[in-house]
Amino acid sequence: MPDISIRNQRALTINNIFCIGRNYVAHAEELGNEIETSPVVFLKPTSAVIFEGDRIRLPAMSSDVHYEAELVVAIGREGKNIPRSDALGYVAGYGLGLDLTMRDVQSELKSKGLPWTIAKGFDTSAPLSEFLPSREITDPQDMTFTLHVNGELRQTGKTSRMIFTVAELVSYLSSLFTLHPGDLVFTGTPRGVGRLASGDVLALELETALHAEFHVA
C-alpha cells in the first residue's frame, strides 16, 4: 500500500469525507431513528475540518449544536468495488473525530424531507485527531474510544457494537464511489450525544493510543 503521512495530521491531504449515520443501535434509539438495513451515508466538505489547536465555532443559526464522537478511517489507496475480505487492506490509518451537528436545523430539514448538508457541514464541524497507521491496529472492531466534555465522560464507543463494520463500510462505499487516498470515513457515533456551549472543552481518547482536545469558542 502506498504510504501516506498520517501520523502528522496536517500532512494528510483530505479528499472526500464520507459520514455514516445510525451505526450504533443505542444512538439510533436515543434519537428515535429506525435501524437501517444498509448504511446511511452523507458528506461533509473539507472546509469543515479542524485540528487540535483550532477552535470550534458554533453557528449563529443554531441554538442546539451536538457533539458526536466517532472512529475515523483514512483510505490509503484507490479502490472500486472492493470485496469485504480485502477492504481493510485499503485503510491507511485510524483516528478520532467529532461529527458536530446543528440538531435543531437537522430536525427541521428532516421534517421537510430535505438534505442535512447545512446541519452537518458547517465550518469547524469535523474536528480530527492525528491518525495511527493501520499496521498498529490489530482489529478495528476491538477498540474503545471515549469523549469527555469538561472532564465528564459523555460517550464511550466500542467498535464491536457497530452495526456495519469498518470492512463492510469500505466495501459498501466503494460500490458507490471510487475511493481515493485521503478519503475519510466517519464511522458513526455511540449513545450519549448532547449540546455544546461556548467555553466547553472536549477530549477524545482512543484507549492509550490517541488523545485530542478541542475548545469551543
Report pLDDT digits (tens) over 31-68. Answer: 566 777 899 999 999 999 999 999 999 999 999 999 99
pTM of the model: 0.93
Q: Return the C-alpha cell found at 52.
A: 487540535
Supply the CATH number for residue 135's domain: 3.90.850.10
Contacts of 198 (CB under 8 A, 6+ apart): 58, 216, 217
pLDDT at 8: 52
Residue 57 lies in a domain: yes
pLDDT at 11: 57
The domain tally of the chain equals 1
Instruction: Count CA atoms within 13 Å of residue 210 on its CB side.
Output: 30
As a whole number of angstroms, the distance between CA 109 and CA 86 comes to: 37
pLDDT at 26: 66
Residue 203 lies in a domain: yes
Structural domain boundaries enclosing 162: 9-216
Q: Count H helices, E strands: the chain? A: 4, 15
Residue 138 lies in a domain: yes
Residue 130 lies in a domain: yes
| Cβ proximity of 90 and 82 under 8 Å | yes
Residue 2 lies in a domain: no
Residues of the chain below pLDDT 70: 1-12, 26-33
Contacts of 104 (CB under 8 A, 6+ apart): 62, 63, 64
User: What distances in angstroms separate CA 119 from CA 63, 104, 141, one per listed residue?
Assistant: 12, 8, 29
pLDDT at 212: 96
Residue 48 lies in a domain: yes
Residue 3 lies in a domain: no
